[in-house]
Amino acid sequence: MRHVDFTPLYRSTVGFDRLFNLLDNRGPADQTPSYPPYNIERTGDNTYRITMAVAGFDEKELSLEAHANVLTVKGEKSEDETAAEQSEYLYRGIAKRAFERRFQLADHVEVQSASLKNGLLHIDLLRNIPEAMKPRRIAIAADAVAPKTIEAQVTPQQVN
């Protein structure tokens, strides 16, 4: 069993607690479910796509829910279809079992759309960073804070 100690990183970082908790709470790799298989790809600077192989599932049997930075994809076969399958399989390689897959989303990542085509569920994501959080350029003034001098005119009467 491998265990990584993040203590040195805690001393030199601020605000990454959630990331370290995710890494600490992740179980061993052999306990991670492998069904259904999926791909995660970057399609642009701020766009991503999750593609899941959900052969045998219809749109009505799949549900997607995004809540608190977690995207949950569930698939459940309807009762009438499973009861209608009374034939005897010699080999069953296409799994039609229920599943639930969770994806941790980063801050400001939103689900844009989802589509099912040819047994593949495509989920398009967009990272939408608010204007207040985007980097901005700050201009440097040449005369930052120069002391102001007050000049007064001296009249001939004040000289005497």
- What are the pLDDT digits (tens) for 108-143? 889 999 999 998 999 999 988 888 877 888 888 876
User: What is the Rg, in whole angstroms, of the alpha carbon atoms belonging to the chain?
Assistant: 30
Residue matched to tokens 């790809």: 41
Q: What is the pLDDT of residues 7-32, one digit of tens each?
A: 776 666 666 666 767 766 665 555 56
What average pLDDT score do residues 36-48 get? 90
Own/partner contacts of 54-61, CB < 8 Å, gap of 24 or more, are 54/116, 54/119, 54/120, 54/121, 55/94, 55/119, 56/94, 56/95, 56/96, 56/119, 57/96, 57/116, 57/121, 58/116, 59/116
Residue 158 has a pLDDT of 63
Class of the 32-130 domain?
Answer: mainly beta
The model carries a pTM of 0.63
Q: What is the pLDDT of residues 44-99, one digit of tens each?
A: 888 999 999 998 888 999 999 998 888 999 999 876 555 556 678 788 777 678 89
H or E stretch covering 25: helix 17-25
The two beta strands, 109-117 and 99-104, are unpaired
